[in-house]
């Protein structure tokens, strides 16, 4: 483990102009994302540097839209879904601390207006899209003109998974090696699968007892089984790359499900145990396995919560909407990459 040498503020400061300038209004959108090879465990917590590389799929139109404008009251105003929050609330203080990394001691009182269009019923985390949209909006507002890779590294300092939400489509976050973390950022992959679908199965939307940040810390510190995780994640990442290059949906789905279950095994092996599943999560898993036995190609992945995310192809959408009532279906490649600048080649999964 590295010692927490570098401070976020010092790392960010290296990329800022001597004197900040600003525009009147900035607005940015970032999608939520689901990891197919998970990020679980940090080697350095100040900068959110991960133990392993990860790979995700961004959720197209589901995410966060953030606006920044000058505050007329002389104080920061943080709004979430149309509601003004007390500045000392956990959400507002996280947002303000992040913005402080950029404006340093300068007096730039701002209105930071955040809206999530992630259905509350979907059980998706909003910190990934939230910090990514905030980073993109800050880049615009202060005319920083930073490259996507730097923005991804900055978003990672807000929340690890936010590094991936800077881009659309399939995205890889390389763990990096540098102590300042600037090589630990995401980049978009040059692959498009128009027939890929992600289905959100709601099991429970109650706030979880242990958040991801404390959950991964507990796993790293107490689960002997965690020692096997970095090697598993590295192997899974390689297999997902292979699946993407061969257009093999079966391999992509199987590896993603295995990776999620392996991550959950390390959580369960923590002390006190971290079991994010509810009885209905297991019911849904068994249904998926029965459907696969019956020849329907559907796989699942799960994050630090009880909800399942199904992976399937367009041809099975109607059937799965019948099997899982209330299934929210996302088409990741419905729109071409609006955030990333990469050109993508079309490779249809088989
Ligand atoms: C992921 N998760 O790869 C993994 C899988 C949850 C399970 O990234 O502490 O909110 O802010 O870096 O990014 C959730 O953790 O944690 C997460 P921090 P984050 O999507």
Locate the domains of the chain by residue range. Answer: 8-190, 192-348
Mutate which of 51, 52, 216, 217 for ligand 1? The one with the most ligand atoms within 8 Å of its CB, which is 216
Pocket of ligand 1 (CB under 6 A): 35, 38-40, 48, 54, 125, 127, 159-161, 212-213, 303-304
Atom of ligand 1 nearest to the CA of 156: 12
pLDDT of the residue at 338: 43
CATH class of residue range 8-190 = alpha beta
Q: What angle do CA 175, 30, 158 make, to 5 degrees?
A: 50
Q: Looking at residue 107, what is its pLDDT?
A: 80
State the closest ligand 1 atom to the C-alpha of 158, by its place in the atom list counted from 1: 11
Q: Which residues pair with 341 in a beta bridge?
A: none
- Taking the CA of residue 162 as reference, the ligand 1 atom at the shortest distance is 13
d(CA 316, CA 291): 11
Q: Burial-class residue 24 by CB neighbours within 10 Å (0-12, 13-18, 19+).
A: exposed
- How far is the centre of ligand 1, averaged over its atoms, from the C-alpha of 41 (Å)? 9
- CA 19 to ligand 1 centroid distance, Å: 34
Which pLDDT value is given to residue 256? 99
In contact, 145 and 36? CB cutoff 8 Å: no
The pLDDT of residue 266 is 98
- From CA 169, how far away is CA 165, in angstroms rounded? 9
In 15-126, alpha helices (H): 90-103
196 alpha carbon to ligand 1 midpoint, in Å?
23
The pLDDT value given to residue 121: 57
Residue 212 Cα to ligand 1 midpoint, Å, equals 6
Give, using CA atoms, the residue closest to atom 4 of ligand 1: 39
- Confidence (pLDDT) at 96: 97
DSSP letter for 106, please.
Answer: S
pTM of structure: 0.94
Give the pLDDT score at 270: 98
Residue 195 CA to ligand 1 centre (angstroms): 26
What is the mean pLDDT, run by run of 10 residues, along the chain of 350 residues? 75 95 96 98 97 98 96 95 96 96 87 89 80 98 97 98 98 97 98 97 86 96 98 98 98 98 98 96 98 98 96 98 96 65 41
- The answer to whether 81 touches 64, Cβ cutoff 8 Å, is no
Q: What's domain 192-348's superfamily in CATH?
A: GHMP kinase, C-terminal domain (3.30.70.890)
Best mutation site among 160, 257, 276 for ligand 1 pocket (most ligand atoms within 8 Å of CB): 160
pLDDT of 287 reads 98
How far apart, in Å, are the Cα atoms of 337 and each of 60, 76, 323, 332, 333? 9, 33, 31, 10, 8
Nearest ligand 1 atom to alpha carbon 131: 11
Classify residue 149 as exposed, middle or buried by CB count within 10 Å of its CB (0-12, 13-18, 19+): middle
Q: Whose CA is nearest to atom 9 of ligand 1?
A: 213
Chain position carrying tokens 């128009």: 194
Tell me the CA–centroid distance for residue 95 and ligand 1, in Å: 17
Q: Scan for tokens 């998706």, then name that residue.
A: 124
Sign of the dihedral defined by the CA atoms of residues 276, 280, 284, 286, in that order: positive
* Pairing between β-strand 328-330 and β-strand 77-80 as defined by DSSP bridges: unpaired
Q: Who's near 147: CB < 8 A, 6+ residues apart?
A: none
- pLDDT for the residue numbered 122: 62
Predicted local confidence at residue 350, as pLDDT: 52
Listed residue (324, 284, 36) closest to 199, CA to CA: 324
Ligand 1 atom nearest to 260, measured from its CA: 5
- Quote the ligand 1 centre to 146 CA distance (angstroms): 24
Spacing, Cα 315 to ligand 1 middle (Å): 31
Query: Residue 339 phi/psi, 5° resolution?
Result: -100, -40
Specify whether the CB–CB gap between 197 and 20 falls below 8 A.
no
Identify the DSSP state of 327. Answer: P
What pLDDT does 337 receive? 45
3-state secondary structure (DSSP) of residue 311: strand
The maximal CA–CA distance of the chain, rounded, in angstroms, is: 64
Q: Find, among 203, 288, 287, the residue nearest to 253 by Cα.
A: 288
Ligand 1 centroid–CA 161 distance in Å is: 5
Beta strands in the chain (DSSP E): 26-37, 42-44, 49-50, 54-70, 77-80, 83-85, 110-116, 170-173, 186-188, 191-192, 196-201, 299-302, 308-313, 328-330, 345-346
For residue 3, what pLDDT is reported? 52
In testing the pocket of ligand 1, which one of 37, 90, 212 has its CB within 8 Å of the most ligand atoms?
212
Concatenating the DSSP letter of every residue in 160-219 gives GGGGGGGSSSEEEE-----TT-TT--EEE-SEE-TTEEEEEE-S--SPPSS-HHHHHHHH
Q: Would the CA dihedral through 250, 300, 124, 329 be positive or negative?
A: positive
Q: Measured in angstroms, how far is the CA atom of residue 4 from the centroid of ligand 1?
A: 19
């Amino acid at each position: 483990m590295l010692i927490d040498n570098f401070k976020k503020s010092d790392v960010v400061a290296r990329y800022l102009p001597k004197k900040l300038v600003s525009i009147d209004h900035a607005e940015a959108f970032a999608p939520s994302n689901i990891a197919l090879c998970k990020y679980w465990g940090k080697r350095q917590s100040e900068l959110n540097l991960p133990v392993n590389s990860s790979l995700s799929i961004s959720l197209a139109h589901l995410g966060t839209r953030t606006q920044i404008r000058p505050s007329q009251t002389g104080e920061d105003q943080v709004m979430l879904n149309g509601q003004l929050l007390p500045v000392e609330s956990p959400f507002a203080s996280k947002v303000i601390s992040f913005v402080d990394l950029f404006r340093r001691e300068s007096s730039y009182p701002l209105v930071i207006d955040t809206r999530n269009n992630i259905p509350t019923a979907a059980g998706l985390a909003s910190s990934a899209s939230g910090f990514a949209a905030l980073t993109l909006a800050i880049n615009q507002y202060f005319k920083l003109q930073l490259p996507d890779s730097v923005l991804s590294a900055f978003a990672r300092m807000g929340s690890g998974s936010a590094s991936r939400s800077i881009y659309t489509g399939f995205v890889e976050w390389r763990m990096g090696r540098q102590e300042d973390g600037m090589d630990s950022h995401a980049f978009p992959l040059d692959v498009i699968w128009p027939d890929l679908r992600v289905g959100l199965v709601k099991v429970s939307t109650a706030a979880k007892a242990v958040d991801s940040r404390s959950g991964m810390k507990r796993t790293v510190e107490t689960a002997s089984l965690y020692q096997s995780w970095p090697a598993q994640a590295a192997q899974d990442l390689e297999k997902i790359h292979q699946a993407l290059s061969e257009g093999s949906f079966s391999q992509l789905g199987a590896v993603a499900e295995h990776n999620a279950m392996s991550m959950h095994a390390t959580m369960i092996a923590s002390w006190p145990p971290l079991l994010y599943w509810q009885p209905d999560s297991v019911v849904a898993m068994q249904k998926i396995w029965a459907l696969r036995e019956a020849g329907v190609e559907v796989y699942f992945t799960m994050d630090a919560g009880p909800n399942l995310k199904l992976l399937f192809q367009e041809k099975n959408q109607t059937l799965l909407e019948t099997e899982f009532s209330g299934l929210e279906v996302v088409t990741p490649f419905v729109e071409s990459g609006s955030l990333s600048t990469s050109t993508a080649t079309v490779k249809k999964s088989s």
